[in-house]
Amino acid sequence: MIDYNRSALELELESKTAAFIRDQIIPYEKDPRILSHGPSDELRCEMQAKAKVAGLLVPHLPQAYGGYGLNHRQTATVFRASGFSLLGPVAMNLMAPDEGNMYLLDQVGTPEQKAHFLRPLAAGEKRSAFFMTEPDGGAGSDPSLLATTARRDGNHWVISGRKWLITGAEGAGIGIVMAKTESAATLFLVDLPHHGVVTERVLNTIDRTMPGGHAVVRFDDVRVTPDQILGEVEGGFTAAQIRLAPARLTHCMRWWGAANRAHVIATDYAYHRQGFGKALIDHEGVGFMLADNEIDLHQAMLTIDHAAWQLDQHGPLRDDTAVSGRAKVAVSEALFRVADRSVQIMGGAGVTDDTPVQQIFRDTRAFRIYDGPSEVHRWSIAKRIKATYRAVHAGR
């Protein structure tokens, strides 16, 4: 049975994180360095310097990289607190895609790869990108359509192809690239910038949380050596699963904090705003929406904690989308309902940038697509249900 008791370290980090976000990061939310494609690297480095002083940079990582060695369920507590500002995860260097890339490097990287790629990433000296998704005709939710290739050329591999919606590619110093080799996928590490890695354009999207935005990138015969293979040759899908199962949950954790912020702001607005002779919160229509927000937030928190506990017990390779996929669908849709109601409660004020509620709404809407849209996860879960039914009822 899952133990919901919080350790002393966990509670201390939650409290420190909440104070850090409130006192030092929320004041940055109107900073002009928050651009249409996310916070600038200047702003990121400035905030991360403050997180380091506060002892809150990469709290999830092992102590060897400056963290506290938290497990997945402990991480959930801290990440939820960090998400109270959309800038919080960036400030604490636990935002996607860097957080997932750090986890993957720690799990499967060689000592040399960890020294060269993971250590500067954990220190905030570099950002990273995970090059997996491709334009039409290539891999998206269906990785079997992978079109980017890596062919052998003597003692080297040569990567060619196009990727898109690559978060953080513009300005990244480290790339993890998924490419098709002889018969399956392989992951490669690439130092950036690289003359053969060309950013064709940065897409304009509804979110603006992640530094570097989301880019279309071309690989023009990028030559890499065998020591740049991350994991095993032809083991790319297995390595990606090690990364993606926890990453779905850490998305849930961070955006839970953002949705909670929207709910807090909407509650304050409803308490003080008067209409038809009384405060909005005293009108059933508004009060019931706030009640539904609390229900969704509580159920989402329990879902996150249960899924994180299961990952701690069994590991990401036992996940097979059953745990993180279910959680990602349930939580992303619940948090979007919270953000949507918060906008509605605030009326006209909810669609302005006077508060972060409208941006939380936009970012949370995008979350329902990132790391697999709800429909793909439901399809995968339905396949599992069918397979389980057939196995149970075989021969009847």
Q: State the amino acid at position 165 in one-letter form.
A: L
pLDDT per position as a tens digit, 151-202: 999 999 999 999 999 999 999 999 999 999 999 999 999 999 999 999 999 9
Query: Is the per-residue pLDDT at 351 higher than 90?
Result: yes
pLDDT per position as a tens digit, 120-137: 999 999 999 999 999 988
pLDDT per position as a tens digit, 195-243: 999 999 999 999 999 999 999 999 999 999 999 999 999 999 999 989 9
Q: Where are the domains of the chain?
A: 8-122, 128-233, 237-393
pLDDT given for residue 245 in this prediction: 87
Per mean pLDDT, which range of 25-29, 355-359, 384-388 is the poorest?
384-388
pLDDT per position as a tens digit, 305-317: 999 999 998 887 6
Q: How far apart are the first and last CA of the chain?
A: 33
High-pLDDT (> 70) share of the chain, %: 98
pLDDT given for residue 396 in this prediction: 63
Query: How many alpha carbons fall within 13 Å on the CB side of residue 212?
Result: 25
237-393 maps to CATH 1.20.140.10: yes
* The pair of three-digit structure tokens given for residue 147, joined into one six-digit string: 């079109």
pLDDT given for residue 55 in this prediction: 98
Per mean pLDDT, which range of 233-247, 262-276, 293-307 is the poorest?
233-247
55 phi, psi to nearest 5 deg: 75, 30
Please, what's the largest Cα pairwise distance for the chain? 80
Q: What is the mean pLDDT of residues 342-371?
A: 96
Quote the CA–CA distance of 59 and 79 in Å, as a whole number: 9
Query: Is the per-residue pLDDT at 318 higher than 80?
Result: no
pLDDT given for residue 138 in this prediction: 85
pLDDT given for residue 287 in this prediction: 97
239 CB neighbour count, 10 Å cutoff: 23
**Domain 8-122: homologous superfamily in CATH:** Acyl-CoA dehydrogenase/oxidase, N-terminal domain (1.10.540.10)
* The pair of three-digit structure tokens given for residue 221, joined into one six-digit string: 């015969």
* The pair of three-digit structure tokens given for residue 225, joined into one six-digit string: 């050596």
Query: Is the per-residue pLDDT at 303 higher than 70?
Result: yes
Residue keyed to tokens 């196009």: 162
Q: What is the mean pLDDT of residues 26-39?
A: 96
- Asked if omega into 97 is within 30° of 0 (cis), the reply is yes
**Which one is the CATH code of 128-233: 2.60.40.10, 1.10.1370.30, 3.40.50.1820, 2.40.110.10?**
2.40.110.10
Residue-averaged pLDDT of the chain: 95
pLDDT given for residue 323 in this prediction: 86
